[in-house]
Structure 1
Amino acid sequence: MGIRPLTTTDLLVPGRVLIKRRQLLQKVPLCERTILDMEKRGGFPKRFTITSRLVAWDLAEVDAWIAAQQSAALPGCAPGAKKSTS
């Protein structure tokens, strides 16, 4: 499924904050299926396996992904935005 387990190095990173699925879905307005597909393609931060029934994402990685999406967005190119023909 592409879920990466926490490594010893991951556990030693100070200040790491992990968010659960519900928190991720509040922060990123995409459906779970879209997020999973993007993870598989390498276009979204990978989840961590916490237990056999719990996964989480690194908040800093998710925030960095959001910032990258904002930087890549072109002004006036929002869905439904009309192009001006001056």
Structure 2
Amino acid sequence: MIGINETAVRRTIRRKQLREIIPLADSTIYEMEQRGEFPRRFALTPRCVVWDLAEVEMWLKLRRTISIRRSPHPDVTLRKTSPVKVRDQDQRPSSSGA
């Protein structure tokens, strides 16, 4: 039998605690886990999943050092429903000062 002195007891956190640390939606966290971009959860029981706190903290430290590009703004003129029409410079109403 392995003694407590030989192995470090690792702290785990549940979903509520994770959401306090990481302000992302559950679906975003799940998708990132599937892509390998976030620490994987593991099941303690059939109804209880947890994350290793040390892995989550390490992920946060890594995210602070990596610069993340912002996603480009969508081109609203390409929308299929309610596209935004682009105004020409010549069509702008002019203010006549009389």
Q: Which residue of 2 aligns with 1:69?
A: 63
Distance in 2, matches of 1:17 and 1:65, equals: 15
Higher normalized helix content (fraction of residues): 1
Percent same amino acid among aligned pairs?
Answer: 42
Query: What amino acid maps onto 2:41 in structure 1?
Result: R
Over alpha carbons, which structure has the higher Rg? 2
Pick from 38, 43, 51: which aligns with 1:49? Answer: 43
TM-score (norm 1): 0.69
- Contiguous gaps of at least 5 residues in structure 2: 1-5, 71-98
The runs of at least 4 consecutive aligned structure 1 residues that moved more than 3 Å come to none
Higher normalized strand content (fraction of residues): 1
- Contiguous gaps of at least 5 residues in structure 1: 1-11, 79-86
The structure, 1 or 2, with the larger RCO (C-alpha pairs under 8 Å, 6+ apart) is 1
